[in-house]
Amino acid sequence: MEIIPQTNVNINNWTIRDLGGAKGVLPNLDLSAFTYCLITDDSSFLDIIPDTSILILPRNGLPGLNNSSETIYILDHTESVIDSLQYNENWSLMDSRSVEKYRITDTSNEPNNWGISVGEAGKTPGFQNSLFFSDLPSKGSVTISPDPFSPDGDGIDDELTITYSLPYLGAAIRWEIIDMAGRIIAKPYYNYQVGQNGKLTWNGKRDNGKSARIGIYVMKISFQDVASTQSWETVKTVVLAKPL
């Protein structure tokens, strides 16, 4: 569990509780505002989080949480509820991936403010959430680089990168590579969940594992909003060249 205090605060005798009353008691620590703080009973996370983040080990561990549904409370030393979260089986959950907030300052009990981490490791303990954003743009954008690119293994311009920014909190991307004969030769990402902005790459390989031929390719890139039926699509061209 990760918290980011909005003001400087001491958490001595704060508790993490479930609906059944089981609780973990937090130690006497002074936390600075907007510091990433990871609450866990696993001290090995100390090797993962950055030096700027805080690892908090409850004195008696944490309550066990159900996979299907649960209510979690954070209470201060006066038993006042600081924050709470209720989730159920209707939430989008995925094995080995954490669930993150899009907007860290918005209410925790809004399901649409949560999504599955799109970080490479499936989680971002002590770091900015992979789904984080401040304001949504009015429309989407995709840029590509480099163009042309030459996936020949020399370490120079070997991969094509698309950089995207979406008018959605999260989306499922479909990226298709089409040759000049109109054939789809590769789908680098298909129904792959992404955050509001980020980068993805194509290594110049066809779906059969063989290298694509030198030439011009059309890229059809579409994004389906995870929270509605809205979608956004763009078409780009790129040149796969000889060594440059």
Q: How far apart are CA 32 and CA 3, in angstroms?
A: 12
In a domain, 132, yes or no: no
Out of 24-28, 33-37, 225-229, which region has the weakest mean confidence (pLDDT)? 225-229
If asked whether residues 112 and 192 sit together in one domain, one would say no
From residue 211, alpha-carbon distances to 146, 174, 199 in Å are 18, 20, 22
In a domain, 174, yes or no: yes
If asked whether residues 47 and 82 sit together in one domain, one would say yes
User: How many domains are contained in the chain?
Assistant: 2
pLDDT tens-digit series, residues 179-206 = 988 899 999 999 998 888 889 999 999 9
In a domain, 136, yes or no: no
pLDDT at position 190 = 93
> Does residue 21 register a pLDDT over 90?
no
> Does residue 134 register a pLDDT over 70?
no
If asked whether residues 106 and 45 sit together in one domain, one would say yes
pLDDT tens-digit series, residues 38-56 = 999 899 989 889 998 999 9
pLDDT at position 86 = 87
The residue range of the domain holding 225 is 141-240
If asked whether residues 145 and 110 sit together in one domain, one would say no
pTM (global) more than 0.95: no
In a domain, 169, yes or no: yes
pLDDT at position 61 = 87
pLDDT at position 133 = 65
> Does residue 243 register a pLDDT over 70?
no
Cis peptide before 5 (omega within 30 of 0): no
If asked whether residues 88 and 20 sit together in one domain, one would say yes
In a domain, 134, yes or no: no
| CATH code, 158 | 2.60.40.4070
| Cβ 148 vs Cβ 167: under 8 Å | no
pLDDT tens-digit series, residues 136-153 = 667 889 999 999 999 988
In a domain, 65, yes or no: yes
